[in-house]
Amino acid sequence: MHQLSKKEQEILIKLNVEEMSPTQVRLIKNITSLLTSVVTAEDESEYFDTSSELFKKLAELVKHSQFAESHRNMNYGDQAVEYSLANLSDAIETKNLQNIDN
């Protein structure tokens, strides 16, 4: 794994949450925490359980997006999650997940 220099011991991510709901902000904080846990996990069960929880929270955030909320009658939140999972499944089956980090 890439070692951070002394100047890079943390990443500061600033988001403008002015137009976000409290639920969206809470989910983003939770997702960030879970993401950190996944990439630093050393225990197999923690790695798998946290990865699963991360994907669930991402799906929840998609369902709570402003677009999905404003089109509830069309069920776009569920449709977007289903579409994403289908694409992810296809990418896994075809081994088409790409690492673009150089």
Residue 99 lies in a domain: no
Residue 1 lies in a domain: no
Number of domains observed in the structure of the chain: 1
* Contact by Cβ (8 Å): 27, 53: no
Residue 35 lies in a domain: yes
Residue 3 lies in a domain: no
Q: What angle do CA 67, 49, 47 make, to 5 degrees?
A: 110
* Contact by Cβ (8 Å): 47, 41: yes
Residue 83 lies in a domain: yes
Q: Which domain holds residue 46?
A: 24-93
Residue 5 lies in a domain: no
pLDDT tens-digit map of 45-71:
999 999 999 999 999 999 999 999 999
Rounded-to-integer distance, Cα 65 and Cα 63, Å:
6
Residue 102 lies in a domain: no
Look up the pTM and report it: 0.82
Residue 102 pLDDT grade (very low, low, confident, very high; cuts 50, 70, 90): very low
Residue 13 lies in a domain: no
